[in-house]
Amino acid sequence: MRKHRYDVVIAGGAVTGSSVAYFLAANPDFNGSVALVEMDPTFSKSATALSSSSIRHQFSTAINVQISQFGTQFIREFAETMRVNETKPDLFFRENGYLFLAETEEQEQILRANHKVQVSCGADVVLFDANELASAFPHLNTDDIRLASYGRSGEGWFSNTGLMDGFRRKARQLGVTYFVDEVCEISRQSNRITGVSLKSGDVIDCEFLVNASGTRGARVAAMAGLKLPVEPRKRTIFIFDCAKSPQGSANVNNGQLPLMIDKSGTFCRPEGEHFMSGMSPKHDPAVDQDDFNPQFDEFETIWANLAARSENFEAIKLLNSWAGHYDYCTLDQNAVVGPHIEVKNFLFANGFTGHGLQQSPAIGRGISEMITYGEYRTLDLSPLSYFRVAENRPFIEKAII
């Protein structure tokens, strides 16, 4: 057994944990040491690596809009910010936007209400009626569309592993220590975390513990005697080829297609020369941590939904598929961020419900501020605090895909 001491220990080394590590190490006001513990250095089953790698500003709550606005700014500047010697990571950001479609009056009212929140935050989102939608994206069947919401800038997709790897390389350069290991026990004295024990037998004493363990977040919290309403939910991604690839109007984003979300919960976006798609399953139970078997039957539903929306999607060929997990917050589908109400040196960065990749820059910055200053200095993340969990008071995000 080896004994170590670090000011901050981060449990979980994918994009959120590595973002926290980077922002701590890069902050000139933080003079402590940081250790990050990750059991799988390949990250092959992480939500980061298996995500659809997108970012949007079209949320229903102002805090989520603002979190992603910072994410967009950070992604645009990422290559220079994360430069290590002469290596500048390129995230290949495709700023093609998101397109939400509404067919019913209820869906239309939700889009209009969300749009008011978004524009109040300065998001570049516009509403299209059916005629405007048909003009912008001529391949779409708009006969049943009441309203569409389109992000003209700031939204799109990028390299998921590029974001994570950039954070990791820069954090290491700034002095963060990475342990290939697993937290298996947390030491707590009264209302204070004092350290963690690792699977290898090593022990790390610490002043702060950050839970960035993804779908294992509830298990890590339980080691400290704390409750966290987070569980793994499966999402399957499909890559397909299209015999007649659709095109947008040259007057909108130079004809580039956005990520489209149909009223059915089916989404679709370009992926190189092909397309990526998935859906929100109607039956959505918690799954085993090791269950990564794709739900192949979902593809028939996706195909039918897409073909009804555009005749271009009638002839498609499945090329690849995989399943990943959401760290799903069962309380309200919003992240749980910041210190526990009693055990104040235990900090949460959990429950992102599919938004962890795009939210990781703002969450990493916020957690680092809370550790360094005892408060948020840039964006106030308190709406996502553990207080609402303790009070069983949901803070609902309506725009979940």
Answer yes or no: are the C-beta atoms of 161 and 14 closer than 8 Å.
no
pLDDT of residue 387: 97
> H/E/C letters for each residue in 290-356?
CCCCCCCCHHHHHHHHHHHHCHHHCCEEEEEEEEEEEEEECCCCCCEEEECCCCCCEEEEECCCCCH
Q: What share of the chain is helix, strand, coil (3-state, %, to 5)?
A: 30, 30, 40
- Would you place residue 196 in the very low, low, confident or very high pLDDT band (cuts 50, 70, 90)? very high
Please tell me whether residues 219 and 254 are part of one structural domain.
no
Written as six digits, the tokens of 111 are 């889009």
Q: Which of 392, 387, 386, 355 is nearest to 60 (CA)?
A: 355
- Would you place residue 263 in the very low, low, confident or very high pLDDT band (cuts 50, 70, 90)? confident
Q: What is the mean pLDDT of residues 113-122?
A: 98
> What residues make up the domain containing 192?
3-67+160-230+331-390
Indicate which CATH number applies to the domain containing 370. 3.50.50.60
pLDDT of residue 340: 98
- Would you place residue 177 in the very low, low, confident or very high pLDDT band (cuts 50, 70, 90)? very high
Please tell me whether residues 238 and 287 are part of one structural domain.
yes
Judged against a pLDDT cut of 90, whether residue 86 lies above it is answered with no
Please tell me whether residues 247 and 313 are part of one structural domain.
yes
Cα 304 from chain centroid? 27
Please tell me whether residues 270 and 383 are part of one structural domain.
no
356-373 vs 62-76: helix axis angle to the nearest 10? 100
Judged against a pLDDT cut of 90, whether residue 1 lies above it is answered with no
Please tell me whether residues 189 and 276 are part of one structural domain.
no
Residue showing tokens 């949320």 = 59
44-64 pLDDT, tens digit each: 999 999 999 999 999 999 999
pLDDT of residue 288: 96
Please tell me whether residues 172 and 226 are part of one structural domain.
yes
| Residue 140 belongs to some domain of the structure | yes
What is the percentage of the chain residues whose pLDDT exceeds 70?
100
Please tell me whether residues 319 and 342 are part of one structural domain.
no
Total domains present in the chain: 2
pTM: 0.97
- Would you place residue 176 in the very low, low, confident or very high pLDDT band (cuts 50, 70, 90)? very high
pLDDT of residue 301: 96
Judged against a pLDDT cut of 90, whether residue 264 lies above it is answered with no
Return d(Cα 37, Cα 59) in angstroms, integer.
32
Kind and range of the H or E element at 148?
A: strand 147-151
Return d(Cα 12, Cα 22) in angstroms, integer.
13
Judged against a pLDDT cut of 90, whether residue 113 lies above it is answered with yes
Q: Select the more confidently predicted residue: 299 or 86.
A: 299
